Amino acid sequence: NWTTGNVIEEQVAAIREQVGDKRAICGLSGGVDSAVAAALVQKAIGSQLTCVYVDHGLMRKGETEQVEKDFVAATGVQLKVVDAEERFLSALAGVSDPEEKRKIIGREFIRVFEQAQAEIIADAGPEVAFLVQGTLYPDVVESGGGTGTANIKSHHNVGGLPEDLEFKLIEPLRKLFKDEVRMVGQELGLPDEIVQRQPFPGPGLGIRIVGEVTKERLDLLREADAIAREELTAAGLDRDIWQCPVVLLADVRSVGVQGDGRTYGHPIVLRPVSSEDAMTADWSRLPYDVLAKISTRITNEVADVNRVVLDVTSKPPGTIEWE
C-alpha cells in the first residue's frame, strides 16, 4: 500500500545503508525533483551530504534566493552556491541559435559543477563516493532503465585527486511520478513554493530569449515573467496550468504608442499550456481579464516592451518552449 510515509522510511533506510560512512553530493537546480531528492538524502545522512547550486544567471526572479534561503531553512542542508553568471553570459555572448545556446549552457554547467565537486572533494577527502540525482520514473522509462555510475573528470587545478572519479548514483525518486514526488516533498516539510513549482527548463531564461542572451534582456524578461507569475497566482490558476513560459522576442520590434509618443519596443509572448506529461500540450484558455491584467502590467511596468501576445498553438506542432 503506497503512502508517502512508507516511501520516505524505505528510502531513508536504503540510502543510509548504501552510503554508510561515505559522503554524497547533490546538485540543486531549483526544481522540484532535485529539491525533494536532496531533502530525502539529507534526512537519511544529514551532514554527510553537500548540495551544490550553480547560479547561471538565467534563473527567474527570486529563484536563487528561494534555494539559498527557504530550502536551506527547511532542510538544514549544507549548500555550496557558485555564482557563475558572468561565465555563462560571456560564453553566450553573440549566440542566437537555440541548439548552440543549449549546448553552451549544458557544457558550462557541467564544468562549473565539476569544479565545485572537485573543491568539495579536496576539502572532504576521497570518501565522497555518491552523487544524488532526482531521476523520476518517467525518466527511467525514457532512457531505457539504466542506472549505476557517473564518471567525473577531476580538474587539474585541484591537487591530489585521481584522474577520473567514479561516483555511484543515489536516485531515491526512481519509482515515483511527479505528483508523488510533490507529496513526498510536502511530507518532508519543504515550502509550497518549491514543492508546487511548475516545470522550468534547465537552460532557464536562456532559451526564452529569442535572439542573443544579454544581462539587460534577462533583467527585462525576469520582470515580465515575475508579473505573469504573480497574476496567475493571484487568480488562483497555478494548479490549472502546466506552466506558462514567458518569452522575449529580442530580435523583433514593433511600433506602439504610449503617453504622447511613438514607441518601438519588443513583444513578450505568453505561452500558458495545459498538459499531463509535457509530451503533448494544449494552450490554456486563460480568463480574458487575467490576460488583460498581465498585458497591462507588463507594458506599463517593463521598459522597452510595448506589446504582449498570446501563443495559441498546441503541442504538437509547437513545443512548449520556443527554443
User: For the CA atoms of 253, 257, 263, 268, what is the dihedral angle to 10 degrees?
Assistant: -40
Q: At a CB cut-off of 8 Å and minimum separation 6, what does 157 contact?
A: none
User: Could you say whether residue 178 binds ligand XMP (CB under 6 A)?
Assistant: no
Q: What is the smallest separation between the CB atom of 248 and ligand XMP, expressed in angstroms?
A: 16
- Identify whether 203 is preceded by a cis peptide bond (ω within 30 of 0): no
10 Å CB burial of residue 202 (0-12, 13-18, 19+) is middle
Contacting residue, 63, 108, 231, 321, with ligand XMP by CB under 6 A: 321
Residue 89: Cβ within 10 Å count: 17
Stretch that binds ligand XMP, among 110-118, 194-202, 293-301, 304-312 (CB under 6 A): 194-202
Cis peptide upstream of residue 316 (ω within 30 degrees of 0): yes
Task: Name the β-bridge partners of 274.
Answer: 282
Residue placing its CB nearer to ligand XMP in the complex, 80 or 315: 315
| 35 annotated to a ligand binding site | yes
Applying CB under 6 A, among 30, 57, 203, 272 the residue interacting with ligand XMP is 203
Sole binder of ligand XMP in the list 98, 138, 191, 202 (CB under 6 A): 202
Where does the chain have alpha helices with state H? 4-19, 32-45, 63-65, 72-75, 85-92, 98-124, 137-142, 178-187, 192-195, 215-234, 288-301
92 scored as a contact of ligand XMP (CB under 6 A): no
Asked if 243 is part of the footprint of ligand XMP (rule: CB under 6 A), the reply reads yes
Whole-angstrom distance, CA of residue 296 vs CA of residue 50 = 44
- Binding segment for ligand XMP (CB under 6 A), chosen from 90-98, 144-152, 188-196, 198-206, is 198-206
Binding flags for ligand XMP, 262-301, as an x/- string (CB under 6 A):
----------------x-----------------------
The verdict on 319 binding ligand XMP (CB under 6 A) reads yes
Which residue ranges make up the site for ligand XMP (CB under 6 A)?
A: 199, 201-203, 243, 278, 315, 319-321
- Annotated binding residues for ATP: 29-35
